[in-house]
Amino acid sequence: MMMLTIIVAVVVVFVTLILISFLQTLSLKTPAFTNWPFIGMLPQFLRNLSNIHEFSAKLLNSKGGTIEFIGPWFTNMKGVITTDPMNVHHIMSKSFTNYVKGDLFREMFKPFGVGIFTTDSHLWKFNRNLLQYIFKQRSFEDLQERIIHNKVETSLIPLLNHVQQQKGLIVDLQDIFNRFTFDNICSIILGHDPNCLSIDFPEIECEKAFNQAEESIFYRHTVPLCVWRLQKWLQIGEEKKMTDACKVFDHFLYDCIASKREELTKNSNKNQNIETDESHVDLLTYLITEEEKKGESNDDKFLRDAAFNLFVAGRDTITSSLTWLFYLVATHPLVEAKILEEIKEKFGHKEKPWILNVDEVKNLVYLHGAICEALRLFPPIPFERKESVEKDVLPSGHHVHPNTMILFSLYAMGRSENIWGEDCLEFKPERWISERGGIVYAPSYKFFSFNAGPRTCLGKDLAFIQIKMVAASILWNYGIHVVEGNCVTPSLSIVLLMKHGLKVKITKRGV
């Protein structure tokens, strides 16, 4: 059986490569989307892999928002790809129990372990209820505010000051945000600051490993199942990179867990109460102490999986949001001017450099609109995946069979005229502001960046707060200038980052 699988995989790859060579002459605008004999529709996707998000957006828009995808024969690589809001509402809310992550999803996202993003049914409910309880605590919001405030004041502002003093120095703003959010999420979850964000830009092995794991997971979605399973078995290519990356990052997580258990044991022996100031209690400490109170014992694997899932939720999504936001603001001077005008009107009396607190950033309506626009056009998680349990008929009229894969293209949704109108490609914060100057809230099945239905992101409000605190501080103090010729291309990963980073020059703002 293994030999048959290998032969099929080799044949599929060989024939696909031949067709890719033929399709080199085809344009991205070519309307034809052919179901080839034996190899299905895979060649078109592989041909446009480097530009897969734009290709998918144009394809889905030309097909009314929903297509049926058929992969190579014997690969079981088939499903439905959609941007239809009614399909989203049906799958994520109305028929929630019929659409799950499924076993294949868990296999493809194995580095996530048994966490909130990969589980279904009672395991998912357990993880969600636990995190929901924590996130609702005022102390958790206080912890996040304190950590972000401290990191901006002691690391981000000094680094940006250093950069702007080196006249003409070009830096990768995405790398800066990557380091900033990695330090923050480590502090919030693990109670450990690796100090990635410093003037000498140190290379942090675990941070690089985490990025590689995400890229390898995306790769699994671009080739037939038998191909990446074969690579995993042989430990070659992306699967070898995945294995090595997970070893490095797991070693980092387990070391942090062991250190935290040791620290708490010592404090317990000294009769020290770690709850004297709840705003200083990181999530890992909370999970360990809660299990001790209940007389339970969550093993290190549970803590590791919880941490890994929250790293994805609270680190890369923020990096992506900040990077695309600053790119859009820097390339739209009128929007930048309005953001600065709003800040000056409400907080111009504060001395520089300053950092707004949680309550203050909630008053920045125009900045909120700019963030929503950035999330609409460049959603941090560009696609969402589900699997059907029983047969069904979607509102779009497409028939779904048991175990059918459903892919939502969030990137394409943000570029759909049917959803956002003829100006869908424009960056318009005003889209999110009412005539009375309040915030306009779009339904989650239309604005899908924070998921929808029972799986709506628990950290949505915390994410907006963090992005506003960072964005307001930087924009008020510095001018961000995108370097001419900087190639802005989405990366091929499960998180929508910039493939070549965001190269900028930074100047001191004289507001």
**Binding-site residue ranges for heme:** 457
Structure tokens at 374: 């950035």
Q: How far apart are CA 99 and CA 390, in angstroms?
A: 8
Please provide the distance, in angstroms rounded to a whole number, between the alpha carbons at the two ends of the chain.
70
Structure tokens at 473: 């501080």
Structure tokens at 62: 């030309």
Radius of gyration of the chain from Cα atoms?
23
Q: How far apart are CA 447 and CA 459, in angstroms?
A: 16
Give every CB contact of residue 255 below 8 A, 6+ residues apart in sequence.
none
Q: Cβ(205)–Cβ(253) under 8 Å?
A: no
Q: Please, is 234 exposed, middle or buried when counting C-beta atoms within 10 Å of its C-beta (0-12, 13-18, 19+)?
A: exposed
Q: Cβ(231)–Cβ(237) under 8 Å?
A: yes
Q: Cβ(174)–Cβ(323) under 8 Å?
A: yes
Give every CB contact of residue 92 below 8 A, 6+ residues apart in sequence.
99, 386, 444, 445, 451, 452, 453, 454, 455
Q: How far apart are CA 476 and CA 34, in angstroms?
A: 51
Contacts 24+ apart (CB under 8 A), 252-258: 252/205, 252/206, 252/209, 253/190, 253/304, 253/307, 253/308, 254/300, 254/304, 256/186, 256/190, 256/192, 256/284, 256/307, 257/284, 257/300, 257/303, 257/304, 257/307, 258/300
Q: Cβ(338)–Cβ(429) under 8 Å?
A: yes
